[in-house]
Structure 1
Amino acid sequence: MATRSWIVPGPARHDVEGVDALRVQLVAGSVSVHGHDSDHVHVEVAEVTGNPLEISVEGTRLSIGYPTLGWDGWARRLGSYSSSDVASLTVHVPHGTTVHVATATADATVSDVAEDLTLMTASAALRVLRCRGAATLRSASGTVEVSDHVGPVRVSTAAARTEVTGELPRTEVTSVAGSISVTTTAHSAMADLATVSGAMRVQLPAGTGLSMTARTVTGQVRVDGVDRRPGGLTPTTVEDRGDGAVCFLTTRSVAGSLDVVRGALGTSA
């Protein structure tokens, strides 16, 4: 398979055609990926400090990163990797491009992409805006924000704050100590949330039925402002399906509280 590559030691611009997958690997700095209506990829590198970047094309996949680091196993080394390499870049891709970004401390933003995406970081902020498809995000300590998303979302964090909004048919969030906030406009949905000590909040459209099992050791469990926890270690179960669509919600925590609100977005019941 033919491969094309460019070494980028400083600010530069590149246009690449025939790409339907993007892979970015950074240490420090920032990366923004935006969907656009053109059929080519436009890469704009604003800053490179330390080792130069490499831009390479293999088949229909465009890769941007550091060739000396390698791709295999890079994500597993994010938390322990230390380097002075800094790069800041913006990439415009066709809307139907799959996106995979891995960083150590570089903030990452992806917007207006209509295919599956994966973002991973050790301690940077991750943002996904107005995207469609399956979104997978992993962070140790950086905040995670998914806004106006259409499609399933999976998030795994250690201490990061997580906020997810949109039309979410399925949401899975696992966190050790970070707070979790999920707001969905989908009347029929499934959500699975787990935390040790972070507070959890789930907001649903008014009139949505609820089938919930919440397990906690010391955390509070409230539904529409009413304390529903039976006491002790007995799981809190709510079966209020009504005649319409239902949200199937499962939560687990040690000390984290849970609030479920059904009502107009931005209000509490």
Structure 2
Amino acid sequence: MAREKWLLDGPKTIDFDRVRSLKVALISGQIDIVAHDEPGARVEVHSVRGKPLKVSIDDGVLEVDHPQLGWDNFLDVFAYFKGDSSAEVSIMVPRDVALKFGVVSASALISGVETDAKISTVNGEVVIDGVTGALDLNSVNGEVLVRDHTGKVSARTVSGDVTAAGAIDKLTCDSVSGDIFLDLTGMPDDVRVNTVSGAVTMRLAAGTPASYRITTASGRLHLDDSDITGVHGTYTGKYGELSENWLEFKANTVSGNVSVLHAKVTA
């Protein structure tokens, strides 16, 4: 099928029969991406201000592009982008759609996708809810919240906070000053975090065995009910029996505090 495209300056709804990939670039405004059980997709444009919004499809590849600047790595192009165009958009996509997504200052919700996704934000808050697969997250100042996730998470942020919750088996997160909050269910396998001044807080399910290797220059360390004092280098320790399955937790900070908590056993 030949490529089809639209330049939109106002509300419009467009339906597509078959979509296998979605690429989104938005400047400001709001975008919601919700997965459904159909092979097709629907783009609902509620409003557009400033530059027209470009929508195109080519051989199952759907693109929603407001800045209309070519990009592969979103932050390489848009980290210092200046523009005041905005749009409000809702998109329904198949659950297995391949997703590549970036916003400058727009707020975003991504829900129900069951495939790997690459998601970037400069200043906008991004909420990722009920997604299954490997997440590749990149932020400058925007807050990223991952809820009810199943799979792997890899995140990089400068000053934006990162929150990740769910059945996450492997997680890596690098931060400068952004705080990292983790609420992990099940039996995670490997968590590695690095910060300069950002704090790290991790909550585990009751009884989850774990090994700890935590390096800090001046950050405080709190493990369950204990404050570990005098750590100016590397602390190693464990919780529970390290046999067959347990979490390997490694953290490196300069001045960021590290806290690890286990949920209380419920009757």
Question: Between Structure 1 and Structure 2, how many residues are aligned?
Answer: 265
Aligned residue number for residue 260 of structure 1: 260
CA contact (8 A) 1:221 1:236 kept: no
Aligned residue number for residue 119 of structure 1: 119
- Rounded Cα–Cα distance in structure 2 between residues aligned with 1:235 and 1:49: 52
TM-superposed deviation, 1:89? 0.2
Aligned residue number for residue 38 of structure 2: 38
- Rounded Cα–Cα distance in structure 2 between residues aligned with 1:19 and 1:171: 29
TM-superposed deviation, 1:151? 0.5
CA contact (8 A) 1:10 1:46 kept: yes
Residues 1:207 and 1:80: Cα distance change in structure 2 (over 3 Å): same
- Rounded Cα–Cα distance in structure 1 between residues aligned with 2:121 and 2:68: 19
Aligned residue number for residue 170 of structure 1: 170
> What pairs with 1:1-269 in structure 2 (closer than 5 Å)?
2-66=2-66, 68-72=68-72, 74-229=74-229, 231-242=230-241, 243=243, 245-264=245-264
CA contact (8 A) 2:167 2:188 kept: no
TM-superposed deviation, 1:240? 3.7
- Rounded Cα–Cα distance in structure 2 between residues aligned with 1:165 and 1:181: 8
Residue deviations 1:200-225, cap 9 Å, x none? 11111111111111000111112112
Residues 1:16 and 1:264: Cα distance change in structure 2 (over 3 Å): farther
Residues 1:212 and 1:171: Cα distance change in structure 2 (over 3 Å): same
Structure 2 residue matching 1:75: 3-state secondary structure: helix
- Rounded Cα–Cα distance in structure 2 between residues aligned with 1:55 and 1:88: 13
Q: Which runs of 5+ in 2 are unaligned?
A: none
In the alignment, residue 236 of structure 2 is paired with which amino acid?
T
Q: Select between 210-219 and 59-68 the one with higher mean Cα deviation.
A: 59-68
Residue deviations 1:141-185, cap 9 Å, x none? 111100000010111111112111000001111111111111111
TM-superposed deviation, 1:248? 0.5
Residue deviations 1:187-206, cap 9 Å, x none? 14210111111211111111
- Rounded Cα–Cα distance in structure 2 between residues aligned with 1:66 and 1:162: 26
Structure 1 residue matching 2:96: 3-state secondary structure: coil
Q: Which runs of 5+ in 1 are unaligned?
A: none
Residues 1:72 and 1:259: Cα distance change in structure 2 (over 3 Å): closer
CA contact (8 A) 1:47 1:88 kept: yes
CA contact (8 A) 2:98 2:115 kept: yes
- Rounded Cα–Cα distance in structure 1 between residues aligned with 2:227 and 2:68: 55
In the alignment, residue 178 of structure 2 is paired with which amino acid?
G
- Rounded Cα–Cα distance in structure 2 between residues aligned with 1:72 and 1:259: 36
User: What TM-score does the superposition give when structure 1 sets the normalisation length?
Assistant: 0.93
TM-superposed deviation, 1:77? 2.2
CA contact (8 A) 2:23 2:62 kept: yes
TM-superposed deviation, 1:111? 0.5
Residue deviations 1:19-64, cap 9 Å, x none? 1111111111111100112221011001111111111112221001
